[in-house]
Structure formats: structure tokens, C-alpha cells
Amino acid sequence: MTSFFAVTDNHDILALQPRLTADDAGVRRIALIDLADLEEPDGLLWLVERLVQDPAEEVRAEAARLLEAWEDGPVVEALCQALTDPSPAVQAAAAQSLSLLKTEAAGRVILPWTGHAEVGVRIAAFRALRELRFPEAAPAAVTALNDADANVRREAVGVLGWLKQLDALPALARLAADDPDTEVRRAATGALGLASGAEVLPALRRALQDNAWQVREEAATTLGKVGQPDAGPALIEALGDDYWQVRLRATRSLGRLRYAAALETLIDTLGHRISNLRKEAALALGELNDRGAMAALQAAQDDGDPEVRKAVRIALSQLQ
């Protein structure tokens, strides 16, 4: 096996060359690991070369994993190209390494790949850009909200959410209401939490009526994050949801909002058969800081669940 990067005067790398060019793929893979341990810039060329042209997928995948710490333009470009590798293992390794990059320069290399014809490449590119929080990715992410693939749309939502793109709120509200994919609606509903104003309340109230409980759960959580007292009535209504997960998040959000009108409903929830709901109700009553909850909390001090008893103690300490 030959190498077009074989020319080097680094003695440590020269010592590894017989193994780096061995016929046995296992030997080449271990040699790459030893090469990466040297942390020599000249060794970077070998890693890129093996990623690009090694005939064995396990070697290419190892090279992709070992390149995770390098953010040079040619390395990032090689990792992006590896997203089109015929081996799913190589694709996954390249995507993982790209997601660990931290520089805007890397983001500029990745950005054009968000328009690639292959769905998997678009997904990996947006996932990497989300972790980078790369502002220049916002226009591409907005466009991708209309992508034919649900996974691409979900990753694009993640980019916009991490970037806190307020201009994207109308598009995110549309997805939260109308996207045919449950996970996209859920992600879009969560991303609406980047707002702090009442403009997203109508979309979140609609999401509380979604057919999928996962979306309703996310809406209940996000209504608490937005911090608008006008969300209170919808959250009280959500305490009657068929799914306890939705009721739990609604209870938590009512406490977070310190929504005084929820006092009696939260006291009722303190007697629910599900202990997680009793715990959240106790904590929410503490947040309300209304002594009208004192008697109910005192009665709950002997609850059979230690986590509920702990929450009750915390709540009572807030009412002292």
C-alpha cells in the first residue's frame, strides 16, 4: 500500500510508516491510533489520507474518529466529504467528529453541506452547526424548515433554537401547529421557549391540544419558561390531561409562574395517586408562597413517598 503523504522528516512518523501502509487493515487502524497519540501536525496528513482513500471501512471510520480534535479547513472538509462515504460506520464517525467542532471557521466549511442532496448529510451538517451556535447558519436553517425530510426539519429547529432566532418564531409556530411529524412539532414547540413575550402564547395553547401527548408535554413545559401569567388558565386545564406526564409539566410550570389562581387545583393534586404529581404539586405550592396551602401541606407531611415528604418540607419552609 502506498501513500501520497509519505514524505516527512518526522522520525516518529517515519517509524510508523511500515504499519500505516501494511496490507492488514487491523494493523493500519492501530497505527493510526498511535499516530494520533503523537499529536504531530505532519500526522494530520496521514489521518486525512486514510479517511479519504483507505479501502477498509474500519480504518476510514477510525480516521474520522481521530480527527475530532482538529479544526483545520481541509480536515473539516474531509469529514464533511466522509458523510457521503458508502459505509454507515464512517458516516456516523464523521458526523460525531463534526458535532464536536467549536470554531466559526469550521462552521463556514460545514454550512454549504446543509444543501446536499443526501438527507443524511443535511442532518449531520445541521447537527454540527447547532452545536457550533453559528449565526450564519440561521438562513439555511429557516429554509430547511420546509425540507421534505422530518429529521432535517427537526435539526433545523434545533439550530434556530440554540441561536435564539426571534425572527424565526412565526415559522416555528407554524411547525408546532401543522407539521405532520410529532417530533418536529415537539421540537418546534420547545424552541418557542426562546421568546419571553406573549406573542407565542396562542401557538403554545394550540400545542396543549395536540393529538400527541409528547407535544402537549413540551407545550406545558415551554409555557412555564416563557414566563407569561396569561398562560395560567391553559396550564390549569392541562392538569386534567389524560397523560400524567403532561399534568406533571403543567404543575411544575404553574409553580414556576407562581400563578396564584392555581392554589386550589394544586392542593387537589397534592392528593393524587401518582407520587410524582404529588411531589410537583408540593413544590409548586411552595413557589406560590400562599399560606392558604399550609394545612394541606402539613397534612401531607406523612406521605408514604419520601420524595413527596421532602418536597413538602421544602414547601413548608417557603411558607414560614
Asked if 160 and 114 touch (Cβ cutoff 8 Å), the reply is no
Any domain includes 283: yes
Any domain includes 252: yes
User: Which residue, of 100, 118, 151, is where some domain finishes?
Assistant: 100
Any domain includes 15: yes
Any domain includes 246: yes
Q: 218-247: string of b/e by CB count within 10 Å (b at 16+)?
A: bbbbbbbbbbbeebbebbbebbebeebebb
Round to whole Å and give the CA distance between 303 and 308. 7
Residues 6+ apart with CB under 8 A from 195: 166, 169, 226
Per-residue confidence (pLDDT) for residue 302, from 0 to 100: 94
Any domain includes 91: yes
Per-residue confidence (pLDDT) for residue 71, from 0 to 100: 85
Distance of CA 261 to the CA centre of its chain: 34
Per-residue confidence (pLDDT) for residue 10, from 0 to 100: 75
User: Which residue, of 76, 100, 124, is where some domain finishes?
Assistant: 100
For the chain, 320 residues long, give each residue's pLDDT as a single digit of tens: 344 444 566 788 888 888 988 999 999 999 999 998 888 887 888 899 999 999 999 999 999 999 987 888 999 999 999 999 999 999 999 999 999 998 889 999 999 999 999 999 999 999 999 888 889 999 999 999 999 999 999 999 999 988 888 889 999 999 999 999 999 999 999 999 988 778 899 999 999 999 999 999 999 999 999 989 999 999 999 999 999 999 999 999 999 999 999 999 999 999 999 999 999 999 999 999 999 999 999 999 999 999 999 999 999 999 87
* Three-state helix/strand/coil letters over the chain: CCCCCCCCCCHHHHHHHHHHCCCCHHHHHHHHHHHHHHCCHHHHHHHHHHHHHCCCHHHHHHHHHHHHHCCCHHHHHHHHHHCCCCCHHHHHHHHHHHHCCCCHHHHHHHHHHHHCCCHHHHHHHHHHHHHHCCHHHHHHHHHHCCCCCHHHHHHHHHHHHHHCCHHHHHHHHHHHHHCCCHHHHHHHHHHHHHCCCHHHHHHHHHHCCCCCHHHHHHHHHHHHHHCCHHHHHHHHHHCCCCCHHHHHHHHHHHHHHCCHHHHHHHHHHCCCCCHHHHHHHHHHHHHHCCHHHHHHHHHHHHCCCHHHHHHHHHHHHHHC
Per-residue confidence (pLDDT) for residue 2, from 0 to 100: 40
Per-residue confidence (pLDDT) for residue 27, from 0 to 100: 95
Which residues constitute the domain of residue 273? 234-320
Residues 6+ apart with CB under 8 A from 118: 83, 84
Any domain includes 155: no
Any domain includes 219: no
Round to whole Å and give the CA distance between 304 and 311. 12
User: Which residue, of 84, 100, 116, is where some domain finishes?
Assistant: 100
Q: What is the CATH classification number for the domain harbouring 61? A: 1.25.10.10
For helices 169-178 and 150-163, the axis angle rounded to 10 degrees is 140
Any domain includes 177: no
Per-residue confidence (pLDDT) for residue 102, from 0 to 100: 87
Per-residue confidence (pLDDT) for residue 61, from 0 to 100: 97
Domain count, the chain: 2
- φ/ψ of 273, rounded to 5, equals -70, -20
